[in-house]
């Protein structure tokens, strides 16, 4: 059911799998998906089983392909500079991006990348000759830590936006979602620079690169978003980066009431940001069953869906006062 905002389940594609996480039996989460506010579900980029067709039988659902390790430019000591320098145009994207594109199965309405890479670990990100060439072109001194971080962030930004360009040329509709944490801290910690990812003037050569569509932002410090990240959200331009608030909590906050409170808090932040929405991964951070649709998945789905309903009429105050039993009964 479309409620006017994007709701992306990074692992929600498993709703189409059976109780064993396979395709032999009936899908266990399809009815939950039909009742939910999910608009986009994540499916690994190389999955081509019949369950993916089952997912798109749910009205309005779009399949977002998620990055797998063997094609992730941020892993396996990839030469980021060479990936960029090899790109000529969408018809000649270079060996790495060609292989990445070939290994995305259909149906595909977009792509999601968990951009959390330890760029300061020199053993994982050795500086290559191609990196040095780009550093000279872009006027970065890689011996200066702050410039090195900015350089790696720019590389990841360009690769992400080249993926958007390639996908759009191939499929037309191609929503790109980048998952990382809120705020400026994602730069040095993960190589994710939200300012660069949403800068409309960033170019490769003479050509402007397309923008990503959404920042899927996570915070595990509590039910309510921290003041630091609330201030960061408030600083974003009105027509700038669109944010999907991740609904995911660590133990012991991972309870139906915790998720309900988290949804209510984020809905309050969306009041003046019509382009924002929700995201989800595993209900409990780091504890998810990546191939099984289970009760925590249902709980998060219900919390988001009912929260969005009540945010329209009669409002957040009602959501905050309802018991979890009342919410589950309303979703039956």
264-294 per-position pLDDT tens digit: 999 999 988 989 999 998 755 455 556 789 8
How many angstroms separate the CA atoms of 320 and 332, rounded?
19
Give the helix/strand (H/E) hosting 45: none
The average pLDDT across 173-180 equals 97
The average pLDDT across 172-189 equals 96
Residue 156 inside a domain? The answer is yes
pLDDT over 80 at 323, yes or no: no
Q: What is the CATH number of the domain that holds 215?
A: 3.20.20.70
Regarding predicted confidence, which is higher, 201 or 160? 160
Least confident range from 88-92, 162-166, 311-315: namely 311-315
Task: Determine the pLDDT at residue 255.
Answer: 86
Task: Determine the pLDDT at residue 237.
Answer: 87
Least confident range from 100-104, 256-260, 285-289: namely 285-289
Residue 1 inside a domain? The answer is no
Contact 17, 285 (CB under 8 A): no
The percentage of residues in the chain with a pLDDT greater than 70, rounded to a whole number, is 90
How many angstroms separate the CA atoms of 285 and 42, rounded?
17
Task: Determine the pLDDT at residue 319.
Answer: 46
Radius of gyration of the chain (CA): 20
Question: pTM of the full predicted structure?
Answer: 0.91
Residue 276 inside a domain? The answer is yes
Tens digits of residue pLDDT in 195-247: 999 999 998 988 889 999 999 999 999 999 999 999 999 999 878 899 999 99
Residue 2 inside a domain? The answer is no
The average pLDDT across 13-21 equals 91
3-class DSSP assignment, residue 228: helix
Query: What average pLDDT does the structure give for the chain?
Result: 90
Residue 163 inside a domain? The answer is yes
The average pLDDT across 51-69 equals 92
pLDDT over 50 at 317, yes or no: no
Contact 292, 279 (CB under 8 A): no
Task: Determine the pLDDT at residue 272.
Answer: 85
The average pLDDT across 169-178 equals 96
Question: Looking at the 3D structure of the chain, how many domains does it have?
Answer: 1
- Residue located via tokens 């500086």: 127
Which domain does 288 fall in, by range?
A: 7-331
Give the side-chain half-sphere CA count within 13 A for 160: 32
* Residue 247: both structure tokens together: 């609904």
Tens digits of residue pLDDT in 130-154: 999 999 999 999 999 999 999 999 9
The average pLDDT across 155-166 equals 98
Residue 97 inside a domain? The answer is yes
């Amino acid at each position: 059911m479309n409620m006017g905002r994007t709701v992306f389940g990074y692992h929600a594609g498993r709703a189409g799998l059976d109780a064993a996480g396979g395709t032999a039996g009936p899908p266990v989460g399809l009815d939950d998906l039909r009742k939910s506010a999910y608009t986009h579900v994540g499916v690994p980029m190389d999955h081509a089983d019949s369950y993916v067709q089952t997912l798109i039988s749910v009205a309005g659902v779009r399949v977002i392909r998620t990055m797998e390790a063997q094609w992730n430019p941020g892993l396996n000591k990839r030469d980021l500079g060479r990936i960029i320098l090899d790109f000529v145009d969408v018809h000649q994207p270079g060996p790495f991006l060609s292989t990445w594109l070939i290994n995305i199965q259909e149906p595909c309405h977009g792509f999601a990348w968990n951009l959390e890479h330890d760029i300061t670990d020199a053993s994982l990100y050795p500086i290559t000759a191609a990196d040095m060439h780009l550093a000279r072109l872009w006027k970065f001194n890689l011996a200066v830590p702050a410039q090195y971080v900015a350089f790696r962030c720019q590389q990841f930004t360009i690769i992400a936006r080249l993926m958007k360009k390639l996908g759009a040329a191939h499929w037309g509709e191609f929503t790109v979602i980048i998952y990382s944490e809120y705020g400026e801290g994602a730069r040095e910690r993960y190589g994710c620079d939200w300012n660069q990812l949403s800068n409309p003037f960033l170019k490769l050569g003479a050509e402007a690169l397309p923008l990503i569509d959404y920042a899927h932002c996570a915070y595990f410090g509590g039910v309510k978003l921290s003041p630091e990240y609330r201030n960061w959200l408030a600083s974003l331009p009105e027509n700038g980066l669109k944010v999907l608030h991740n609904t995911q909590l660590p133990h012991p906050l991972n309870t139906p009431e915790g998720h309900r409170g988290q949804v209510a808090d984020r809905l309050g932040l969306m009041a003046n940001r019509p382009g924002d929405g929700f995201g989800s991964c595993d209900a409990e951070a780091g504890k998810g069953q990546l191939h099984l649709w289970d009760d925590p998945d249902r709980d998060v789905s219900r919390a988001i869906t009912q929260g969005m309903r009540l945010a329209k009429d009669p409002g957040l105050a009602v959501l905050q006062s309802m018991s979890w039993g009342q919410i589950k009964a309303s979703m039956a």
